[in-house]
Structure 1
């Protein structure tokens, strides 16, 4: 079977072929890059060339998203280059510098999700990668002693564009893969992107150890060629899917789905924890154990470890969800996260650094697993609803296409709301340290939230009920 590029839409079950793309959207650009016939659920189509196209797009999607995460989390590193005597920024101000890009990254995820439908996955990857040059160059220009705190807040906020890449990338890859492989593909895509957090922290550690805290611009200069490579690679080797175009009312339909808000709430607990802890961990160490981490270099030695483990294990969460069900893995995972937060709280009160680090490693690892399992639930939920609709008499192809469209919309909504969890984590730490000088109040809040997530997952997806989704999640 020929690879699926620029083919005439066909079906294997006698159903009507998909609607052709709008005039003028075929061809155009190098190799055209628009695929009109895409049927990943068809095994013959998939084995005959579809999986090769999907893997190529997945690779460059991961690369672009990886760089996006690095730029998004840039200020978790740069605050280590801002000693208070030189820049005059206290710990509360530094927490604000890491909170603002988190907030903007969450906000832009919704428009980034629908940009894939409007411009095409490949086309938007080019644009979103190129946009990363804006915060990188702007920060390199202004970052020097004497710069005003307001200016730093503005350029730190610009770094939030890197957070939007996740939503568009996940929406795009969701359309490329069959349901049976979505957990693996989405987990790998997100995990590779999440690795951008520890990688930029390792780059920062290397710069601190070699050039010193006086040269933060080196971190920025390292990333400029990689940003260009991401944009050029997407232009040359990625594709757009005409079948991934969202219907005009996709967002409204997704917003009317109760499952959208349940998944979004759960994703606050998993991804919100991961990105929030990733941004704040270095500052938490310096504030909680000042004697052990009196210099930026001493803190940077450890800040990358948790995000690295959480990123690497995220695909495992997707694979486990493929095998055992996303809801089951997610529920047990929140139990483990509550235990991890309890360990951190105990270590904080006993002032035990080894136990504190162990507890945070648990939190990062289980937040990574939960990210994969929770996102796997999204296509599984709408696939199950499509099966139920087909069993009730609706055309199967129509029901499945609606499921893909809604999955893409929910991925964007959940990604945006989940990212706001990172804002809440940073604000919780900021308030806790201002009020008591420790993070104990924040740790108690995390434990309570994870307990609510366990109860919600069980009540909606695991509790035996006649209303349970036929296909399971």
Structure 2
């Protein structure tokens, strides 16, 4: 998606005109220090963005009977930000090169004031449902922050450091989901379910702080520019869409379950707002913390292998949840649901790790080698990541709409979980058929002519 040159495009005190993180001398002398500083404040801004994006997963817990919104209406409220955030990830991906990483971080952080202030204005009984939907849609801007933040940090770090840096950036952002839920729990536990504006009073100053710190401490990279030709090429590549589907299964599940967990507990097991809030943060927290572990496992064992067996485990955990739902066992249901969260986090790390490996393997299959192959892989994987992140987030919309329909027609979440089970089975099959079965075909062809066979059928098991 981005290409690095040394020709400056824009000037100013906060613009770095030359940036070469692959030069180890430059990296040790000053590059690492600058990159680490930008990473810290990028994580802060993205963290607040995720909290705002998932704000309505908390607000609906405050909406008692006096609000006049039924369970189906609440599931729709938490689905709307998912859709808006997923769509915004595409333009946010390209905004960094257009406006500068620091500049866009400041602007995107400041934009979070709109949905937060609007929610503070409308959160009271008597507000029309249309107003709630409109304000929930505004919180989608928080979902776009992930794409721009990942794109920005990707440019600061050398290839050998990207995995860990992007893992920290993504994990730190994802933790914004359980943190806002913990804030909601604190408010419900101390002030009661009639004081939702206290949650918003916490986040309004935090948004301002994130924007100010980004303005004071972050930098723009002048050499970064959009590679518009890479996007159509990535769109034409089947792997972009295959990985988008797999990312729907992992990240889509994570964000969808994060938004819906509290509502499911309230409607499936008649939990009070306080009881639901005391549990909802556990799954998103564990899923966020374990995401870098998924990446590390993929580094060691191969992303395709980790992703394959992770989908098998997700299917098994879903079976536990279905059984618990039928048996009306809250403890078993909670255990299975939290296991699902942990597995979505592992899968997030392993699927994202696969993307650059796939395009690197394609470069080698085309006969490229060395820096030429690495450049091809970076170019295509950068463009594909933004698209995959956007499509993957739409899985959260599907999760919440499935729950809405399930509770509306059956009064339980069981039919929704059955549909998720089928989806994970399909993800397992696709992972094996595309990335593991083909690798064995390539290995079997080696005696006929190893180099030619590998070029015709790339081995993806190690991606």
Equivalent position of 1:150 in the other structure = 130
Alignment check: 8 A CA contact 2:318 2:417 kept: yes
Q: Which runs of 4+ in 1 moved over 6 A?
A: none
Matched, 1:33 2:15: yes
User: How far 1:176 moved relative to its partner?
Assistant: 2.4
Alignment check: 8 A CA contact 1:99 1:427 kept: yes
Deviations 1:300-332 (A, max 9, x none): 110111001101111111121222222121111
Alignment check: 8 A CA contact 1:184 1:322 kept: no
Alignment check: 8 A CA contact 2:302 2:461 kept: no
Equivalent position of 1:240 in the other structure = 220
Distance 1:397 1:236, change over 3 A: farther
Equivalent position of 2:300 in the other structure = 323
Matched, 1:71 2:52: yes
Distance 1:245 1:382, change over 3 A: farther
What aligned pairs does 1:345-356 form with structure 2 within 5 A after superposition? 345-356=322-333
User: How far 1:61 moved relative to its partner?
Assistant: 1.3
Matched, 1:381 2:358: yes
Alignment check: 8 A CA contact 1:63 1:230 kept: yes
Equivalent position of 1:271 in the other structure = 251
User: How far 1:60 moved relative to its partner?
Assistant: 1.2
Partner Cα separation in structure 2 for residue 47 and residue 320 of structure 1: 28
Equivalent position of 2:39 in the other structure = 58
Distance 1:471 1:50, change over 3 A: farther
Which of 398, 410, 415 aligns to 1:424? It is 398
Distance 1:177 1:383, change over 3 A: farther
What aligned pairs does 1:36-47 form with structure 2 within 5 A after superposition? 36-40=18-22, 42-47=23-28
Matched, 1:448 2:422: yes
Partner Cα separation in structure 2 for residue 450 and residue 471 of structure 1: 19
Task: Give TM-score scaled by structure 2 length.
Answer: 0.92
Task: Give TM-score scaled by structure 1 length.
Answer: 0.90
Partner Cα separation in structure 2 for residue 61 and residue 158 of structure 1: 21
Partner Cα separation in structure 2 for residue 378 and residue 56 of structure 1: 26
Equivalent position of 2:451 in the other structure = none
Partner Cα separation in structure 1 for residue 199 and residue 7 of structure 2: 46
Deviations 1:101-157 (A, max 9, x none): 111011101000011121122211111111100101111112222111111110011
Which of 215, 226, 234 aligns to 1:254? It is 234
Alignment check: 8 A CA contact 2:303 2:461 kept: no
Partner Cα separation in structure 2 for residue 101 and residue 149 of structure 1: 15
Which of 188, 198, 204 aligns to 2:184? It is 204
Partner Cα separation in structure 1 for residue 171 and residue 145 of structure 2: 13
What aligned pairs does 1:390-469 form with structure 2 within 5 A after superposition? 391-392=367-368, 397=371, 399-463=373-437, 464=440, 465=442, 466=454, 467-469=457-459
User: How far 1:52 moved relative to its partner?
Assistant: 2.3
User: How far 1:35 moved relative to its partner?
Assistant: 4.2
Partner Cα separation in structure 2 for residue 284 and residue 220 of structure 1: 23
- Higher helix fraction (1 or 2): 2
Question: Considering only aligned residues, what root-mean-square deviation do their CA atoms show, in Å?
Answer: 1.8
Equivalent position of 1:8 in the other structure = none
Aligned residues: 444
Equivalent position of 1:83 in the other structure = 64
Distance 1:144 1:400, change over 3 A: same
Partner Cα separation in structure 2 for residue 61 and residue 257 of structure 1: 30
User: How far 1:256 moved relative to its partner?
Assistant: 1.2
Distance 1:460 1:147, change over 3 A: same
Unaligned runs of 5+ in 1: 1-16
Deviations 1:17-57 (A, max 9, x none): 935133xx0x31xx3332423233x4444334322222222
